[in-house]
Amino acid sequence: MPEPTASTILLTADQIQRRVHELAAELERDFPSALDLHLVCVLKGGFVFLADLVRNMTRPLSLDFMAVASYAKGTTSSGEVRLVKDLDSGLEGRNVVIVEDIVDTGLTLNYLQEILRARSPRTLRTAALLSKPSRRLVNVPIDYVGFTIEDRFVVGYGLDYAERYRNLPDVCVVPTAEE
Ligand code: IMP
């Protein structure tokens, strides 16, 4: 696996920060301060996005974390989604926003939306930093999308390849074997 280098940057840290600022403003507009707002971060990939998103928001909010496993090792989906860590608190009557790193086939998000909807939140929305619509296997609603990208495997800004590269400030393309 070649190391991602400057030449493989898809989205710079500056571009990401500007877009995250806009998404935070959209969320604050859609959920005025009088309304409760509860963000559910999907680990591990969503942690950097969540951290930047909330630091761009001044309104009161609460957070929780859940972890799912949808990929074995490498860049191929196993198609299987498994709940690894559940939320600490209930969602009944709350305005919940799922915070995801990337929506690829949509299987993970579809699964998450189904299990969270069953917990009777008042509203359930989703914010995803990245979306790869050409890979979609299920039609899943995403209310806030940072960037729509081509079918490339990306790392950085929370996203990993075999648990590496999550700390890169930019989103980089991982070259495939043919590249
Ligand atoms: P989906 O279920 O196929 O939509 O996959 C969602 C999950 O797969 C994401 O939350 C990521 O953890 C992982 N994933 C999908 N595409 C990429 C990528 O390009 N880079 C890193 N992780 C990815």
pLDDT per residue as tens digits for the range 110-125: 999 999 999 999 999 9
Phi, psi of 113 (to 5 degrees): -60, -40
- In the chain, the amino acid numbered 38 is H
Q: Is the pLDDT of residue 75 over 90?
A: no
Catalytic residue among 64, 88, 101, 104: 104
Of 95, 89, 37, 36, residue with least CA distance to 66: 89
d(CA 157, ligand 1 centre) in Å: 13
Quick count: other Cβ atoms within 10 Å of Cβ 96? 22
Q: Is the pLDDT of residue 15 over 90?
A: yes
Mean pLDDT, residues 141-153: 97
| Statement: the pTM of the whole predicted model exceeds 0.75 | yes
pLDDT for residue 175: 74
pLDDT for residue 18: 98
Pocket of ligand 1 (CB under 6 A): 45, 70-71, 77, 100-109, 153-155, 159
What is the average pLDDT value for the chain, to the nearest integer?
92
* Euclidean distance between the first and the last CA atom of the chain, given in angstroms as a whole number: 11
Mean pLDDT, residues 53-79: 82
Query: Which residue is closest in CA terms to ligand 1's atom 5?
Result: 104
pLDDT for residue 77: 58
Ordered DSSP codes for 142-159: -SEEEEE--S--EEBTTB
Q: Is the pLDDT of residue 85 over 90?
A: yes
